[in-house]
Every structure is written in C-alpha cells, then in structure tokens.
Amino acid sequence: MQAINDQFNAAGATVVALTHQLASFSKSMTEKHGIEFDMLSDPGNGYAAELGLRFEVPAEVKKIYQGFKLPMEETNGDDSWTLPMPARIVVSSDGIVRATDIDPNYTSRPEPEKTLADVKAIG
C-alpha cells in the first residue's frame, strides 16, 4: 500500500491499516519501512472479530510460528493465537462500505491496485 499511497492521496482517499499488533510494534514497523499512512492497533483482534474477520491460528501453523521463535503473544499483547483475515474495505466519505476484498486464506493478500481501482470507481 505504501508504494502507491501517493495515488490514493491524489484520488482523495485516506489509507488506514488495522493491525493485530500492539501499537509499540506497529510504530517500529512503520518507522522501519517508511510507512506514511495511519496504522491502528486492534490487540486481541476485537474489532476484527466484530467484523467476522478473526480466525484462530491452526495448531500446525502455531507450531511453525513457535519453531521460528515468532513472539506472537508479545507482539499481539495476548495469548489468543488469533489473527485477522487479510482484508481491504473501501468506505466512502458518507460512511458506506463501497467495496471489499477479503480472503479467509491468510497467505493471500488483496492487491493495492485493485483497492485503488475501487476507490476511483466511487468517483
């Protein structure tokens, strides 16, 4: 998203990301990667759950993560082993959801260009 963030700005859109990580981890990531859009924190994936976009990490994936020493409990701020589904939601200035790209396969990510096209389609 950062790579085409200026195109979103030119289209009059504001990009906001919602992450399951604690704000302190998000801040270091935004600084490290030069992310210029807002990154909001949803520890415990409470809002993702309200949207129906939270899933429990399967046991076999949990073992892989633990084998790589990924500190999920530390970065997420809880021990739920839940993650949000990859999703992009385009909301118009009147608060109406105009487009979504959601995939329950956590390894699949919506393409930023598709989201930009959805923004431009709003007019």
Helix/strand/coil for 82 = strand
* 7-44: pLDDT as tens digits: 999 999 999 999 999 998 888 889 999 999 999 999 88
Which residue matches tokens 């030069």? 34
* 62-106: pLDDT as tens digits: 999 889 988 888 888 888 899 999 999 999 999 999 999 998 887
Q: Which residues contact 55 (CB under 8 A, 6 or more apart)?
A: 82, 83, 84, 85, 104, 106
pTM score, whole prediction:
0.81
Please report the domains of the chain, with CATH numbers, ordered by start residue: 2-122 (3.40.30.10)
Single-letter residue type at 118: D
Q: Are 8 and 119 in contact (CB under 8 A)?
A: yes
